[in-house]
Amino acid sequence: MRYLLFGASGLLGQQIVDKLSGCKRDVSGAAPLAEASLTAPASKDADLRDHAGVRAVICDAKPDWIILSAAYTDVDGCESNRELAFAVNCEGALNVAHAAREFGSRLLFMSTDYVFDGSKRSPYEVTDPKNPTGVYGESKACAEEQIAKVLPNVCIARTSWLFGPGGKSFPATIVKLAASRPEIAVVNDQRGSPTFTVDLAGALLQLCQASAHGIIHVTNEGNCTWFDFAVEIVRLSGLDTAVRPVTTAEFPRPAKRPAYSVLSPQSLNSYNVHLPSWQDAIRRYLAQKIS
């Protein structure tokens, strides 16, 4: 199977590259992938806003599957850069969708829990109405709707709270802070599902192999608050740092975060894909970082 990946340098993209190139041992427990080839252009060679450039890349690669994980993901930055957020996350994604249709490629588009407003108190299903409260979520919700019109068989994979090696992520920040402070304060009124990029990458490739379509929620099993997440990270790191719960109101940010954005695994499990718990994932992440 021939894959084309937009966003190879990102936290998720790096893991997709590793799995398809065999650069690293697969620790996710997923079944081995069928023989595959990968084209992964650098961001400078594949600006999503450049329709002609995107088309040329897809024309040259002629992929069976395009994985679109490239995006403008600075949630707070999107609030002050609405035009850029929509240019990349919606219009850029549409450029990919139109070229995918032209060359007969399937598309897996990465989306987010931020398409929901967080008012629900049970896991969000793929059929629940979208109601984003910030520009980032709005740009992704717009992309979901517009891409589906161009490619009815698109696979839209929503995920949340990504962490993993190869860049900035919550566990790395917590370990660094906890190693230098006697106490850290972490928000305890936002609940979601931490998702390990190693596990996510494996699940996405399994979905491609299964010719998946429609909206699918892809996260590690279970849910927690950021405070719960931090407590587990500190405990597993063997640190004595105290973790103090605080409210979102005590740490105001430009973009409003969903208070509850747990995504139901039902759509993922229907393809017989099951991810480990977030607790198991953080243990493996910390073992990788320490080793």
For residue 189, pLDDT beyond 80? yes
How confident is the model at residue 22, as a pLDDT?
A: 60
The whole-angstrom separation of Cα 192 and Cα 32 is 29
For residue 28, pLDDT beyond 60? no
For residue 233, pLDDT beyond 90? yes
The whole-angstrom separation of Cα 195 and Cα 143 is 22
Mean pLDDT of all residues in 256-281:
98
Mean pLDDT of all residues in 129-137:
98
The whole-angstrom separation of Cα 275 and Cα 202 is 9
The segment with the largest mean pLDDT, out of 17-21, 44-48, 106-110, 285-289, is 106-110
Average pLDDT score, the chain: 94
Which residues, listed in sequence order, are joined to residue 187 by a DSSP beta bridge? 246
Choose the catalytic residue: 72, 136, 260, 285.
136
For residue 272, pLDDT beyond 80? yes
Alpha helices by DSSP H, 237-277: 266-269
How confident is the model at residue 25, as a pLDDT?
A: 34
Could you confirm whether 136 is annotated as catalytic? yes
How confident is the model at residue 34, as a pLDDT?
A: 57
For residue 31, pLDDT beyond 60? no
- Kindly state the tokens that stand for 153: 């068989």
The phi, psi pair for 146, rounded to 5°, reads -75, -40
Give residue-wise pLDDT tens across range 33-54. Answer: 557 899 999 888 889 999 999 9
Give residue-wise pLDDT tens across range 64-81. Answer: 999 999 999 999 999 999
- Contacts of 28 by beta carbon, 8 Å cutoff, 6+ apart: 198, 199, 201, 202, 276
Amino acid identity of residue 165, one-letter, is P
How confident is the model at residue 42, as a pLDDT?
A: 86
For residue 30, pLDDT beyond 50? no
The whole-angstrom separation of Cα 58 and Cα 78 is 27
Which domains occur in the chain, in start order?
2-168+195-221+262-276 (3.40.50.720)
227 contacts 192 by C-beta, under 8 angstroms: no
pTM reported for the whole predicted model = 0.94
How confident is the model at residue 290, as a pLDDT?
A: 59
Give residue-wise pLDDT tens across range 84-111. Answer: 999 999 999 999 999 999 999 999 999 9
